Structure 1
Amino acid sequence: MNADTAPTAAAEPRDAAGRPPVRAATPADAEAFTRMRSEHVLSAPFTEDWVRQCTDELAPRLTPQGDARAFVVDAADGTMAACALGLIHPVLAAPAYPRGRAARVQLVATHPDHRRRGYARAVVSALLDHLADVEDVTLFELHTSTEAAPLYREFGFSGSPALMRMTRHRQRAGGVPGAQPDSTWVPPQQYADALPRAAAYVCLYVTDEDDRPLQLHSVYSPGHPWHMIGGAMDLGERPWDAVVRECREETGMIAAGPARLLATVFGLPPEQRPYSTLQLIFDGGRLTAEQIRGITLNPREHDEARVLPLAEWEALMPARDFVRLRAVEEARRTGVAAYVDTWGNA
């Protein structure tokens, strides 16, 4: 743990008593705590995988139901200037700590740009007061560096040179014969590689005022000659944003929303592609005859926009395409979202 043991200058802002303003930490502070620990406490910084893992583990512990309590001084730019974190745990009671509740001061850190301003003293003081007055902790423990020891002695901590710190880490597979691997966490990329792949698409179901579906004729896909407005989502794109983009690119119209999902369509991977397909189909509403005449097609993708009664579309498209279209039409008519998982299997 580091500490700004010799404050030499006043730092703004300060409260009415001249102390740095300290606040209680929340789960939203978990990543900042993890990075403070990684960059300013540990001898070797975390990888980004470990930052994510530790952040995910700490966040729920910073809730009232968790075992972590922490306090923060914020810098003027909103970053974390200093922090102190304690972990509460039960112990067997003794006369010196009759409540049987202990707290380990796990982390005290100050960013180098904000040291020697009394920030460490402020967050440690707030943490100890909270643990004693609110959490009823009667035993406090910590490990400290030589330079920070005077600060903790001021708060009543004492130590003995006869005490010897010992640690033991669980051996992973390969370190001890017969040891089992720790399967509680795997690197994110390894986990991602084990997940099923799916190409994500969005579609917009549009009809005329008589509820006759509008379909676009493709110039590039003979296997799907007629289909709804839509296409593949871009990386990092939200589904409705993809709908708005595809509608504008394919028809010149602006999909105004609201985003109302009519159907989810799933297909297993075809032989020539390694990915499943997942389609989200939204309601694009009803267009007037004038709006339909005003559609401007992208000639590189479509050469005709046609409106027909539902039954007449069956003869113009593959069976699986018509199954999807019929399910979407029924979803709008009944108000019950459709689920189709035979795309590519019909």
Structure 2
Amino acid sequence: MRMRSEFILTEPLDEAWTAAGSAGLARRLEPGGDARAVVVVAPDGRPVSCALGFVHRLLPAPAYPRGLAGRVHVVATLPAFRRRGHARRAVSGLLDQLASEGVTRFELNASQEAAPLYEGLGFASAPSMMRMTRPIDRDGPLPGPPPTPHYAETVPKFTGYACVVLTDQGGRPVQLRATYSSSHPWQFPGGTMDHGEQPLQTALRECYEETGLAVKGPLRLLASVFTPPGGSWPYGTAGWIFDGGCLTAEEIRLITLDATEHDDVRVLSMEGWKGLMPGQDFARLEAVMAARATGIAQQITWGWGDA
């Protein structure tokens, strides 16, 4: 973003616009976004050249049957590192990446100085290109700069987790003893969501990783759990608890624990669990079991205190 501001734009951007552009670009570079970038770095790790492009959709045609086009938006190289082939490497890498995703039409605007580079890569001039910039309506309110990343810093942050409730065929809850929490030792199989996961996917994955069981369900949502920030964790958490169904005695016997997370598994009546858990943990267990019995999902607020 700084190379674009300094070497591409006719008027460099101020810090607010650079930060806002960086935040927007970061989102577009995430999986599923429309941005692609290749960066050439020096031996000391400094970025010295970059090529940034965007994928956009067209109506399919024989020349672009998947209806995908790639636009090379920024190519910039630090002055001290020019004439070394870095820009060619960056653009070639970007084009290869776009082509691997099915892009067959490529576009860019080239300065007279850079035109030989792009012609050497297969681009040809297109004199039909036209451009228009609509002026701001001076009689209306002027738009301000785009939201800065500082706004994102002001809103609440939450992490997500999901777990499953398992019982034996007598309806007694199955719980695992965590090695990493002496204050909240007994827990349902579950854990923190990975990037790109949905809650149910997390619940199934975590249950398998922590017990070796592929749960049968019915996988109804039993409860959502909200936890405000507290303890050693700086963020709030949002959790989803699903019904994992009943286990046979043989399935319970076959539970295989991950020793780095849990060291015991028990099947107890509600009265048996009451003496082993902090009050709020047991209250959460009661609410979940009530939801399982009635079919009415619960909304639970849970805190980090031990009571």
TM-score (norm 2): 0.56
Does residue 173 of structure 2 align to residue 213 of structure 1? yes
- Pick the aligned partner of 1:240 from 188, 200, 204: 200
Aligned partners of 1:204 and 1:284 also within 8 Å: yes
RMSD of aligned Cα (Å): 3.8
Q: Matches of 2:26 and 2:274 in 1, distance apart?
A: 54
Q: Matches of 1:202 and 1:320 in 2, distance apart?
A: 18
Q: Matches of 1:72 and 1:212 in 2, distance apart?
A: 58
- Structure 1, unpaired ranges of 5+: 1-42, 54-69, 83-110, 114-146, 152-164, 172-178
Residues 309 and 72 of structure 1: CA distance in aligned 2, closer, same or farther (over 3 Å)? same
- Pick the aligned partner of 1:325 from 285, 288, 305: 285
Aligned partners of 2:176 and 2:187 also within 8 Å: yes
**Number of aligned residue pairs:** 206
Q: CA deviation at 1:209?
A: 0.8
Q: Matches of 2:295 and 2:253 in 1, distance apart?
A: 28
Q: Which residue of 2 aligns with 1:79?
A: 67
Q: Matches of 1:284 and 1:223 in 2, distance apart?
A: 25
Aligned partners of 1:320 and 1:344 also within 8 Å: no
Q: CA deviation at 1:148?
A: 4.5
Q: Which residue of 2 aligns with 1:261?
A: 221
Residues 167 and 262 of structure 1: CA distance in aligned 2, closer, same or farther (over 3 Å)? closer
Q: Note the alpha carbon deviations across 1:247-280, whole angstroms, 9 max, x for none.
A: 1111111124454211001111114322011111
- Same amino acid, percent of matched pairs: 41
Does residue 173 of structure 2 align to residue 186 of structure 1? no
Aligned partners of 1:73 and 1:81 also within 8 Å: no
Aligned partners of 2:166 and 2:173 also within 8 Å: yes
Q: Matches of 1:300 and 1:71 in 2, distance apart?
A: 51
Q: Matches of 1:335 and 1:299 in 2, distance apart?
A: 34
Q: Matches of 2:292 and 2:133 in 1, distance apart?
A: 67
Residues 52 and 292 of structure 1: CA distance in aligned 2, closer, same or farther (over 3 Å)? closer
- Structure 2, unpaired ranges of 5+: 1-9, 12-20, 29-56, 71-104, 108-126
- Pick the aligned partner of 1:310 from 239, 250, 270: 270
Aligned partners of 2:58 and 2:67 also within 8 Å: no
Q: CA deviation at 1:223?
A: 1.0
Q: Which residue of 1 aligns with 2:41?
A: none
TM-score (norm 1): 0.51
Q: Which has the larger radius of gyration?
A: 1
2:147 alignment partner AA:
V
2:144 alignment partner AA:
D
1:278 alignment partner AA:
A
Q: CA deviation at 1:192?
A: 3.3
Aligned partners of 2:175 and 2:189 also within 8 Å: yes
Aligned partners of 1:243 and 1:255 also within 8 Å: no
Residues 285 and 170 of structure 1: CA distance in aligned 2, closer, same or farther (over 3 Å)? same
Q: CA deviation at 1:344?
A: 2.8
SS of the aligned residue for 2:289 comes to: helix
1:254 alignment partner AA:
A
Aligned partners of 2:58 and 2:68 also within 8 Å: no
Q: Matches of 1:316 and 1:338 in 2, distance apart?
A: 23
Does residue 285 of structure 2 align to residue 298 of structure 1? no
